[in-house]
């Protein structure tokens, strides 16, 4: 198991710095805002990086890709355009540090040479180029020439400037198991599904929440939320407490919310069926080592034409499945699904995002098409959290 949380030393013995602890960059920042420096002589807070598997759920081994999280705990390092950006005259900063989630440009491949002590590493961007500490390190944000680009991504071959030392941040030992609380905190109804032109009617919502850790059986809890109206936030309070996550475990976090006029037993039984089917698809995809494209793999297993998003709302992809008559469940009138998400996380990712305490996220769920006469589609926010136990 490879665990990295700490400084990254340049070939010259200085350290990479995420200026301000992260949060710099943006589409029009250009070289006027340099997010990464290489001139720190002492490793302090801004020189601390956490490497978390990205996409989450990968198996540990050669070719695994990581997201680099800055010391803020909420920002990822971005290799703009996936790499390939060089000196100051390019007009574009090679790196930003303002991303809040890991997309393709936030993925890096780490190559470790453990034949030497301390271990040395090279870091490749999404397009295969290497991260380079220009002049071997020692550059801040002084203007002009290469000094405007302390770290670049334009090199496709290894020389001396691409070989970093992970200092005390690399360990061949697995970290101890960790415990977390996983909670669905609240539900905000921006626009209800029963959104008739006259404004009458309320959504009668039911929430289902499934958690699967490693090879352990899935756990499901649910709740009848009652009648809900527009522009209100409601406490959910469904929580899995003190869940042990061992190093190398994947965690599947899956929730659905439906508006249904059916009796509570039928509505909750439907939720359990659909949650089980979607979670099972995630387990199967992981077992087949399809982690590099988990969303597409899960969509294929479920018979969907599009990938199932693992970041944000999955309602658009899952809508047809959730509304299918195959469940023997009737969605009458304006009833139907109003929120759904599927997340697959690695133990490394959980450790990274909770390193500063509770990690809380709010996801927006634009609704799927509602029947004629129900007005516009629903719009819900769901807030969830992961807390070290």
Q: Give residue limits of the domains in the chain.
A: 5-169, 178-388
Pick the CATH number of 178-388 from 3.30.930.10, 3.40.1190.20, 2.60.40.150, 3.40.50.11720: 2.60.40.150
Mean pLDDT, to the nearest integer, of 348-356? 80
Q: What is the pLDDT of residue 142?
A: 52
Q: What is the pLDDT of residue 173?
A: 41
- C-alpha span between 255 and 298 (Å, rounded): 15
- Domain 5-169 coded CATH 2.80.10.50: yes
Q: What is the pLDDT of residue 99?
A: 87
- Evaluate whether 212 touches 171 at the Cβ level (below 8 Å): no
User: Which residue bears the tokens 């990464």?
Assistant: 36
User: Which residue bears the tokens 């958690």?
Assistant: 211
Closest CA to 122 of 99, 153, 168: 153
Closest CA to 250 of 293, 285, 301, 207: 285
Burial 192-216 (b: 16+ CB within 10 A, else e): bbbbeeeeebebbbbbbbbbbbeee
Which whole-number Å values give the CA distances from 150 to 39, 111, 135, 257, 357, in the listed order? 8, 21, 8, 48, 32
Closest CA to 271 of 318, 309, 308: 318
Task: Give the chain's largest Cα–Cα span.
Answer: 72
pLDDT digits (tens, 9 = 90+) for 174-194: 457 899 999 999 999 998 888
pLDDT digits (tens, 9 = 90+) for 198-241: 556 789 999 999 999 999 999 999 999 999 988 899 999 999 99
User: Which residue bears the tokens 């965690």?
Assistant: 251
Closest CA to 164 of 175, 176, 154, 151: 151
Phi first, then psi: give them for residue 282, nearest 5 degrees.
-65, -45
Which whole-number Å values give the CA distances from 323 to 37, 43, 175, in the listed order? 51, 54, 43
Q: Is the pLDDT of residue 305 over 50?
A: yes
Q: What is the pLDDT of residue 102?
A: 80
pLDDT digits (tens, 9 = 90+) for 31-44: 556 788 999 998 88
Pair of tokens at residue 339:
């929120």
- Evaluate whether 259 touches 204 at the Cβ level (below 8 Å): yes
């Amino acid at each position: 198991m490879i665990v990295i949380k700490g400084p990254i030393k340049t070939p010259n013995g200085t350290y990479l710095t995420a200026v301000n602890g992260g949060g710099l960059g943006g589409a029009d920042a250009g070289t006027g805002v340099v997010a990464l420096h290489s001139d720190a002589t002492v490793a302090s807070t801004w020189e601390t990086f956490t490497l978390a598997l990205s996409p989450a759920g990968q198996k540990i081994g050669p070719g695994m890709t990581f997201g680099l999280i800055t010391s803020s705990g909420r920002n990822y390092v971005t290799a703009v355009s996936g790499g390939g950006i060089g000196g100051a005259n390019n007009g574009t900063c090679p790196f930003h540090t303002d991303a809040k989630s890991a997309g393709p440009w936030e993925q890096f491949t780490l190559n470790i040479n453990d034949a030497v002590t301390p271990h040395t590493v090279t870091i490749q961007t999404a397009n295969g180029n290497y991260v380079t500490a220009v002049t071997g390190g020692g550059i801040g944000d002084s203007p002009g020439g290469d000094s405007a680009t302390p770290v670049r991504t334009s090199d496709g071959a290894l020389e001396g400037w691409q070989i970093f030392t992970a200092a005390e941040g690399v360990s061949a030992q697995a970290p101890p198991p960790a415990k977390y609380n996983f909670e669905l905190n609240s539900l905000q109804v921006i626009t209800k599904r029963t959104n008739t032109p006259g404004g009458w009617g309320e959504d009668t919502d039911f929430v289902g929440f499934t958690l699967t850790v490693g090879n352990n059986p899935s756990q499901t809890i649910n709740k009848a939320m009652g009648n809900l109206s527009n522009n209100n936030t409601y406490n959910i309070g469904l929580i899995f407490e003190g869940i042990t996550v061992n190093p190398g475990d994947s965690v599947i976090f899956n929730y659905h919310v439906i508006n249904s006029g059916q009796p509570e037993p039928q509505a909750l039984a439907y939720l359990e069926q659909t949650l089980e089917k979607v979670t099972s698809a995630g387990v199967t995809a992981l077992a087949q080592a399809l982690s590099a494209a988990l969303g597409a793999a899960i969509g294929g297993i479920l018979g969907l034409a599009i990938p199932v998003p693992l970041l944000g709302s999955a309602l658009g992809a899952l809508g047809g499945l959730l509304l299918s008559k195959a469940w023997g469940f009737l969605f009458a009138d304006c009833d139907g699904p109003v929120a759904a998400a599927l997340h697959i996380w690695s133990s490394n990712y959980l450790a990274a995002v909770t390193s500063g305490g509770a990690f809380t996220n709010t996801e927006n769920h634009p609704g799927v098409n509602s029947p004629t006469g129900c007005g516009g589609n629903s719009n819900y926010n769901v807030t969830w959290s992961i807390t070290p136990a």
